[in-house]
A and B are shown apart, each in its own frame.
Chain A
Amino acid sequence: MKVAHTYVATVEDRPGALNRVVSLFRRRGFNIASLTVGTTECPGVSRITLVVNSDADTAGRVKANLEKLVDVLQVQDLTGVAALTREYALVKASVPPEKRPELLRLCSVFRARVVDVSPATLTVEITGTPDKVDALLEVVRPYGIAEMVRTGPLAMGRGAEVNEIKVQAGMAA
């Protein structure tokens, strides 16, 4: 059965490191639902959050293949464990002035914030779980979405357990 598997990979910041990850997914035919990259508390180390829709066996091979990449320091599986998953989205709605109060009320339910207003549009930002972002989009859609972008989820385990970055003693990048 295909479900969303979430992995966090810490990766040495070297030329082509992201390319290796993406190339691996293309070559093995793993289906990336989302991939986000950002910096971490450790200089020279990036953190990739990956969501893959697959069965359990394929997910296991995704992890094993990621771990084979020399630039990948470690891979954490956050599927089915207590984790924070957050996504950010900007939504520009084409909404005439008379319908704005209604939309604003709905947005406030989602704690979405207005960040831009023009005569014909209203732009809101939202941070939340992917489900919450989905739900907001459903609500805004009837008003007309002119433009939308979402970051894809970032994830981090809850509690005191830390995904500590162990940098390999290696030659300089």
Chain B
Amino acid sequence: MKRTGSQAIWEALVGEGVETVFGYPGGAIMPAYDALPGYPIRHVLVRHEQGAAHMADGYARASGKVGVAIATSGPGATNLVTGIATAMMDSSPMVCITGQVSSLVLGTDAFQETDITGVTLPITKHNYLVTRAEDIYPTLREAFHLARSGRPGPVHVDITKDAQQAAFEFHPGDGPPPRSGRKVRPSPPVDLDRAAALIDCAERPLVLSGHGIVRSGATELLVEFAEKTGTPVASTLLGLGGFPASHPLSMGMMGMHGEAWVNKAIQEADLLIALGMRFDDRVTGKLSTYAVNARKIHVEIDPSEINKNVKVDVALMGDAAWALRELLGRVRSRPRAAWHARIAEMKGDTAVRDIQSLPPSGRLFAAHVLHDLWRLTAGRALVVTDVGQHQMWEAQYYKHERPRSLITSGGLGTMGFALPAAIGARFARPDDEIWVVAGDGGFQMTACELSTCAQENLKVNVAIINNGYLGMVRQWQEFFYSRRYVATPLLSPDFVKLAEAHGLLGLRVSKREEIEGAVAQARKATCTTVVDFRVEQEDSVYPMVPANSDLRDMIRRPSPMLETGADP
């Protein structure tokens, strides 16, 4: 049967089970858009292509399926770049399709021409420039396959306008199967036996649970493993939700803004079992003093991560679910009560320093907002955070019970991620309660997507943790740059009016006792609701391990008496 290249694009997407795409039309992708109405795919018109990429990413993270973003050539394609890099750093499966100028003028600096495959080469798992209509369908099939296989990631397909327009004889069944990319050979039994022996011998083992637990759906196996071996579980930022926060063996987040006892436990452990995490610098602090007393087992699906930052004793290649299944059959059951007692002791004074337990002083702290939001949503919301202080407070105070209940930009730390990612997540999880938690800075980077919420009639709730500063940068200025607040005080629009200008609901909260009512009102509203939480302006995230420092060298929250000293 005869098809155009444009039709082949949609045929391929329908064949991959794609129901929603996020995009923005323009000259070089117009033939593809023209063919869209014939296919059962919902197109979400974004306000900026960066939003399209984050939406595809958010969709992917919320569903586990491949997200799709579409843009035109030149500026449309370059606007995707931040979103692609974000997905690459957090291993999010995504296919980005861009239009390209006609192959007849490629390389001539034609109108809206950019060498976009040159640009995206180092921030994609793979990319393609397609110049022939008959190559479109097999290329897209391969792109989807690569995006979700092995360590997932973004794949970019750039398609010239003439390839979209050309007609050809289309036989979807024909052609070779897609290339698979590198298949990781699972580690042999001897390595699994060595890992099990290390686990059996350890007195103070600790699991470092990462994104790989979420990606491989290994939560139940991890619970079983932790219980059988009496091993406490600390999580990376992207690992949160991979192990239920209410579980007695759950320790919470590790690293730069991890709780003090978690980092202390890492430094005291005699065995680290790293599952689907990559020893990022925000997790390890100074490498030369990181867990020097511990043996290390690294379960990793990407061989290039082994011994990259931290040298390990046993590397197990494969996904976390596979490794846990194999290890469960090999390890002995041990209670390890002494280790648990030691951790409980280290927990010690943290509770009294905790801002959420302070007596009411009339001041609204971000920690109050996040803690109350967790309580009021019974910890069951899907939370999508932006990047900065609020992101860390969310990680500390919103206790995630289920995998894929927190979506955040970890590796790249992309401000402006939250709102569009939440819109993407909405299409993946139509029935879940979704809360965006963003700062006043990051929210404004992609606030235009409120208009997308209005046009698509979407319901997400937005909590803006508004402290009038680019808060995390201000905090670093306070700690490390002698309180010189250069370029961090931030004037924002009236977020309530901004919401109303979009035909959405806007609310404001400046006292703790107003939180409950506003959250209830937001949850009840059928439209996207923006809640402007006016929080303490110069609060900081504690504890903090300064960059490249020993995990034990934490800056702790000043004692509660000092903190509330101004309030009689």
In the complex, A15→B146 CA distance in Å?
Answer: 18
Q: Are B139 and A171 in contact (CB under 8 A)?
A: yes
Q: Which residues of A contact B146 (CB under 8 A)?
A: 70
CB–CB B179/A64 < 8 A: no
Q: A19-B121, A57-B311, A171-B176 are in contact. Are A68 and B304 (CB under 8 A)?
A: yes
Given contacts A61-B308, A169-B177, A170-B179, contact A67 B121 (CB under 8 A): no
Chain B nearest CB from A93 CB (Å) reads 42
- Give chain B's interface residues, CB within 8 Å of chain A: 117-118, 121-122, 125-126, 129, 135, 138-139, 142, 146, 175-182, 302-304, 306-308, 311
Q: List 30 A-B contacts (CB under 8 A).
A: A16-B117, A16-B121, A19-B118, A23-B121, A60-B306, A61-B306, A61-B308, A64-B302, A64-B303, A65-B304, A67-B182, A67-B303, A68-B181, A68-B182, A70-B126, A70-B146, A70-B181, A168-B179, A169-B176, A169-B177, A170-B142, A170-B176, A170-B177, A171-B135, A171-B139, A171-B176, A171-B178, A171-B179, A172-B135, A172-B176
Q: Which residues of A contact B176 (CB under 8 A)?
A: 169-172
Instruction: Chain A residues near B142: list those with CB within 8 A.
Output: 170-171
CA gap between A61 and B306 in the complex, in Å: 8
The reply on A27 being an interface residue by CB < 8 A is yes
Question: Which of chain B's residues have a CB closer than 8 A to the CB of A27?
Answer: 122
- Known interface pairs A27-B122, A171-B139; A64-B129 also in contact (CB < 8 Å): no
B337 shortest CB reach to chain A, Å:
38
A36 to chain B, nearest CB (A): 22
Told that A16-B129, A64-B303, A64-B304 touch, could you supply 13 new A-B pairs with CB distance under 8 A? Answer: A19-B121, A57-B311, A61-B304, A67-B304, A68-B181, A70-B126, A70-B146, A70-B181, A70-B182, A169-B176, A170-B178, A171-B139, A171-B142
Which residues of B lie under 8 Å from residue A19 when comparing CB positions?
A: 118, 121
Contacts of B302 in A (CB 8 A): 64, 68
- From A57, which residue of chain B is reached at the shortest CB distance? B307
Closest to A168 in B: B179
Number of interface residues of A (CB under 8 A): 20
| A100 contacts partner chain B, Cβ-Cβ < 8 Å | no
Cβ contacts under 8 Å, A86 to chain B: none
Q: Is A20 an interface residue (CB 8 A)?
A: yes
* Min CB–CB distance A5 → chain B (angstroms): 15
Counted as pairs of residues, one from A and one from B, with CB atoms less than 8 Å apart, the total is: 57
Query: Smallest Cβ distance from A50 to chain B, in angstroms?
Result: 16
Considering the complex, give the chain A residue whose CB is closest to the CB of B181. Answer: A70
* Distance of A171 Cα from B174 Cα, bound (Å): 10
Q: How far is the CA of A19 from the CA of B121 in the complex (A)?
A: 9
Most buried by A among B118, B122, B129, B135: B122
* Residues in B neighbouring A70, C-beta threshold 8 A: 125-126, 146, 179, 181-182
- B residues less than 8 Å from A68 (CB atoms): 181-182, 302, 304
Kindly list chain B residues whose C-beta atoms are within 8 Å of the C-beta of A172.
Answer: 135, 176
Enumerate chain A residues within 8 angstroms of B307, measured Cβ to Cβ.
57, 60-61
Chain B residues with CB under 8 A of A16: 117, 121, 129
Q: For the complex, what is the distance from the CA of A75 to the CA of B177, rounded to whole Å? A: 23
Question: Which of A67, A70, A168 has the largest number of chain B CB atoms within 10 A?
Answer: A70
- Please determine whether B306 and A64 come into contact, CB atoms closer than 8 angstroms: yes
Residue interface bits A134-173, CB-to-B below 8 A is 1, else 0: 0000000000000000000000000000000000111110
Interface residues of A in 118-137 (CB under 8 A from B): none
The complex places the Cα of A23 from the Cα of B138 at a distance, in Å, of 26
- Taken residue by residue from 58 to 85, chain A's Cβ proximity to chain B (1 for < 8 Å, 0 otherwise) reads as 0011001101101000000000000000
**Shortest CB–CB separation between residue B421 and chain A, in angstroms?**
26
**Contacts of A60 on B, CB cut-off 8 Å?**
306-307
Interchain nearest-CB distance for B346 vs A (Å): 33
- Chain B: which residue is nearest A66 at the CB level? B304
B129 touches A15 (CB 8 A): yes
Q: Which 8 A-B residue pairings sit nearest by Cβ, starting from the closest?
A: A64-B304, A170-B179, A171-B138, A64-B303, A70-B126, A168-B179, A169-B176, A65-B304
Residues of chain A lying within 8 A (CB to CB) of residue B303:
64, 67
Could you tell me the distance between the alpha carbons of A57 and B307 in the complex, rounded to whole angstroms? 7
Q: Report how far A24 CA is from B135 CA in the complex, Å.
A: 26
| A67-B303, A171-B135 given; A20·B179 CB < 8 A | no
A14 to chain B minimum Cβ distance, whole angstroms, is: 9
Assembly CA distance A67 to B178 (angstroms): 17
Distance between Cα atoms of A65 and B177 in the complex (Å): 24
Kindly state the separation between the CA atoms of A33 and B176 in the bound complex, as whole angstroms. 37
Q: Which of A15, A27, A68 has the most CB of B within 10 A?
A: A68
A27 to B308, alpha carbons, bound, how many Å?
14
Interface centre among B117, B138, B139, B182 (most CB of A within 10 A): B182
The residue in chain B whose Cβ has the minimal distance to the Cβ of A71 is B126
Chain A residues 14 to 30 lying within 8 A of chain B, measured CB to CB, are 15-16, 19-20, 23-24, 27
- Kindly report which residue of chain A lies nearest to residue B135, judged by CB atoms: A171
Of the candidates A23, A64, A67, the one whose C-beta lies within 8 Å of that of B122 is A23
B358 → A minimal CB distance (Å): 47
Q: Who on chain B is nearest to A172 by CB?
A: B135
CA distance A66 to B489 in the complex (A): 45
CB distance from B116 to the nearest CB of A (A): 12
User: Quick one: closest A residue to B125, CB to CB?
Assistant: A70
Looking across the interface, which residue of chain A has its beta carbon closest to that of B139?
A: A171
Q: What is the CB-to-nearest-CB distance from A2 to chain B, in angstroms, rounded to a whole number?
A: 16
Nearest A residue to B129 by beta-carbon distance? Answer: A15
> CB distance B121 to A20 under 8 Å?
yes
Q: Enumerate chain B residues within 8 angstroms of A23, measured Cβ to Cβ.
A: 121-122
Measured between alpha carbons, how far is A160 from B228 in the docked complex, in Å? 50
Q: A24 to chain B: which residues have CB within 8 Å? A: 122
Residue of A nearest to B137 (CB): A171
CB nearest to A67 among chain B residues: B182
CA distance A173 to B442 in the complex (A): 42
User: Which residues does chain B contribute within 8 Å of A57, judged by CB atoms?
Assistant: 307, 311
Inter-chain CA distance A15–B128, complex, in Å, is 9
Which A residue sits closest to B177, measured CB to CB? A169
> Which residues in A have their C-beta under 8 angstroms from that of B177?
169-170
Give the distance to chain A from B266, nearest Cβ to Cβ, in Å: 22
A162 to B99, CA, bound (A): 43
Q: Which residue of B lies closest to A28 (CB)?
A: B304
Q: How far apart are the CA atoms of A168 and B178 in the complex, in Å?
A: 9
Residues from chain A with a CB closer than 8 A to the CB of B139 are 171
User: Nearest residue in A to B175 (C-beta to C-beta)?
Assistant: A171
Kindly provide the distance from the CB of B171 to the nearest chain A CB, expressed in whole angstroms: 13
